[in-house]
Structure 1
Amino acid sequence: MKTPGFLILFVAASLVSGAKTTARDQSEAKDRSDLSGLSVATFASGCFWCVEAVYESVRGVHEAASGYAGGHTTDPTYEKVNTRRTGHAESVQVYYDPEVVTFAQLVEVYFCSQDPTQVNGQGPDMGSPYRSIIFYRTDEEKEIAANAKATLAASGKYDKPIAAEIMPFTAFHEAEAYHQDYEFNNPNNPYVRNVSIPRLNRFKKSCPLILK
């Protein structure tokens, strides 16, 4: 989620500000018991700090959690995923009310909030952990994702192929506590200021009608 240049800035900012952690960051895990009964969707499109913030701005989304999905290991961590040996991508699990926002609309948000033609990366974050994936849990979701991808490809909006993979969902491994709500908790972090917040603002400008 951070290029070497941003890593240097990140370390410097952490030394000055103590990484701006909060009690919510430091907790073992967020309590998600109040999310029972909601529908769940999982997406990967680059840094999960960015993607989490995008989906949490969407009407009908009750929570978005950062984590890892799409790989072959059962105990991924941030450090392990960044070796590019786990197969996992930084992903976000979205808990939403289908009476307010549909899976199809969440897929629209997915394509609207990134460069969908970028392969194995998003913005400054490069490599397989940052690749774009739409995970499906049902045949209906698979069809929705495939149709949305095909429609976008046929629209002529982009002169490159749409890079998003469409994969069956198998498991989501929630990331370390300090990654959760990272953009909200660390607004002065250099990466957040220069990458995450601008990406969120571009999305809000492009899709204002779906915002909370």
Structure 2
Amino acid sequence: MTFRNGLDSLLRPEDSVLVLIDHQPYQLANLNSHEPQMVVNNTAALAKAAKAFGVPTILTSVIAERGGLLFPQITDVFPDQQVIDRTFINTWEDRKVVDAVRATGRKQLVIAGLWTEVCVAMPTIHALGEGWDVTVITDASGGVSVEAHALAIQRMMAAGANMMTWLALAAEWQRDWARTEQAAELTEIIKQHAAGSGIAYLWEQQLLNTPVPVDAG
């Protein structure tokens, strides 16, 4: 059952499974909805967050011998994990991928990939039709144009998918800063990948560790 409101609608690391789809050189070369560097950064942050929270992550590519290998910023996070290479454009038609997702026992399916309008939209809509609770990470995805990305998001939302950014997802997985086990790792990820938020955190630490001047008068 998919919840849309209330506490049960929020994502939990113990119930989530992440699928990263086709973050490959060919797709990146024709990415025009976002700055390519930003998408690579955000996808690396998403992968690191998933690892920090123990969220199973499925890596998949399409015809890698022509489209290229997944970005090393992703595979370096999971150095021992085999990438599932497909011929299906729709990832959810590839039995190896679906079986790997189902084997996790999770029902909160999180997806990011290139391109949004093709390799993200198809499996998202397909999985929604099978009863999965699907969330798309929009800033770790991208399309061939701003229009293509935006229309794909509209289409997926109309089908019932949730939309989030990587930092919002990480915060939802964390939920409470009193959960110290992942807090340190998440803070490090924010410092490395969240730009303004990371710099603001470092500034805060600087101020907290700066002695207050003693009034000589």
Bigger relative contact order, structure 1 or 2, given CA contacts below 8 A and separation 6+?
1
For Structure 1 versus Structure 2, the TM-score category normalised by the shorter chain is: under 0.3
TM-score of the superposed pair, with normalisation by structure 1: 0.28
TM-score of the superposed pair, with normalisation by structure 2: 0.27
Larger radius of gyration: 2
Q: Greater share of helix residues, 1 or 2?
A: 2
